Structure 1
Amino acid sequence: MYTKWIGLLTDVELFKNIGKEELTSMLMCICPNVVSYKKKESITMSENDFDGIGIVVEGEVIVTKENAAGNRVIMAKLKEGDLFGEIIAFSGYNKWAATVIANTDCTILFLPPEKILGNCPKMCPGHKLLIQNMLKIVSRKALGLNRKVEYLSIKSIRGKIATYLLEQYNKYGEQTFMVPLKRSELAEFLNVSRPSLSREICNMRDEGIIDFYKSSFKILDIKALQKNI
């Protein structure tokens, strides 16, 4: 049942250093639930019970949350091989803290958290690695959430844009790069209106700080961009 995704799953961080045969055996032991969704369909809602740690095996999803004003803020955009729900999985709560929406038609593989931390009845050799990998993922996700809080604390729109672009620059190591978010998604991620975002990006282009075309950005003056943070 899971063999069609084994090639993808071996590259998932949760299954790092676990071979294909061992992973196949482990999945038969864990028995994850596989669910398909249509584009724009809600995968998880805050009022719904927790279904397990989700792994995107086909398509793309976005993780969102409403702020105090009722506006949607994009927390993350996830592609094939990415996980969601790992933070709440071991918290003792059974309610989702965010909303996950299918950005395209997609298929999600849900892993019961109790099967990850519980005793493996088949004594799978890779189970210890699975637990170690999960701890690393949860730790990194917590750090990522702290970074999101930092974004929300930045007062100016230009400061948020500059911070985001410099992070992408440090990630790719090049002054020209593609951002993973569409303009409307980037506005939601930075918690600003799309018109304000577009206006400020154009102002930065006119000042010779950056250039852009759709999702492609080029930093023309790194020092000037850094001064906006």
Structure 2
Amino acid sequence: MEIQELPHTPLFHGLPSEQLPAILAALEARRRPFAKEELLLQAGHRMTHMGLVLSGCVHIEHLDVWGNKTLLGQAEEGDLFAETYACLPQEPLLVNVTAASDGEALFLSVAHLLQPGPENWRQQMTQNLLRIAARKNLGLARRNLYTAPKTIRGRVTAYFSALAVKNGSLRFSLPFDRQQLADFLGVDRSALSSTLSQMQRDGLLTLGRRTVELHTAPEDFSL
């Protein structure tokens, strides 16, 4: 993504491209390329700048003291990451942000965005940031629904059902590979693979490399 395309992102939505140079200067914008598997942000650090993915993809992960990893989400082109911590710079990061592919991010000062000023773009971007935060809170609430079941099959069923509803189809693409899906659902990869294979044998779904087709829809689906 080129800088002039920023108005197509949720954060810069509604802003004219001719204002971008002044806005980026005011927000101390800096670009940072990254390589796949590079650690961009580390748990324990404190943030003053939020990140916006210009290209590529990053994963938001929690790593406990025993080395167990939980994939909490991902940010793709146009998405923000670490914005909550940048709004609360006294709070240390509880997650790592790791590059899932080669790409580039744009870092922006949240304090400079939220400070009082007469510029119209501040109000517009603050409103945009609030909407983004609300959507992410909804996403976290949904993830709690996916991980609430005690069994792996229950978690898979909850997540795949939500994806089917979101896509309006019983056939959809997965945003994660098998290991990432296991991390996202908080389960062991081999146990997940075994569960998926059994569900396929039971005729509940058909699996592709990154696609799923459900053969039995929950009664409350309205697809």
Q: Report the TM-score, using the length of structure 1 for normalisation.
A: 0.89
Counterpart residue number, 1:89: 86
Amino acid at match of 1:64: E
SS at match of 2:124: helix
Amino acid at match of 1:44: L
Counterpart residue number, 1:162: 157
- Structure 1 residues 164 and 225 mapped into 2: Cα distance closer, same or farther (>3 Å)? farther
The 2-side partners of 1:129 and 1:209 are apart by 46
Moved over 4 A (4+): none
Task: Kindly indicate whether residue 124 of structure 2 is the aligned counterpart of residue 129 of structure 1.
Answer: yes
Aligned alpha-carbon RMSD (Å): 2.1
- Structure 1 residues 183 and 224 mapped into 2: Cα distance closer, same or farther (>3 Å)? farther
Task: Kindly indicate whether residue 37 of structure 2 is the aligned counterpart of residue 15 of structure 1.
Answer: no
Which of 185, 191, 196 is the aligned partner of 1:196?
191
User: How far off is 1:132 after superposition?
Assistant: 0.8
Counterpart residue number, 1:57: 54
SS at match of 1:222: coil
* Structure 1 spans left out of the alignment, 5+ residues: none
SS at match of 1:13: coil
Counterpart residue number, 1:143: 138
Q: Give the paired residue count.
A: 221
Amino acid at match of 2:160: L
Q: Report the TM-score, using the length of structure 2 for normalisation.
A: 0.91
SS at match of 2:11: helix
* Structure 2 spans left out of the alignment, 5+ residues: none
SS at match of 1:10: helix
SS at match of 2:172: strand
Deviations 1:31-75 (A, max 9, x none): 212112221110000122314110010211111002475410001
Counterpart residue number, 1:102: 99
The 2-side partners of 1:132 and 1:225 are apart by 34
Deviations 1:192-228 (A, max 9, x none): 11111111111111111111111111011113898xx
The 1-side partners of 2:115 and 2:198 are apart by 55
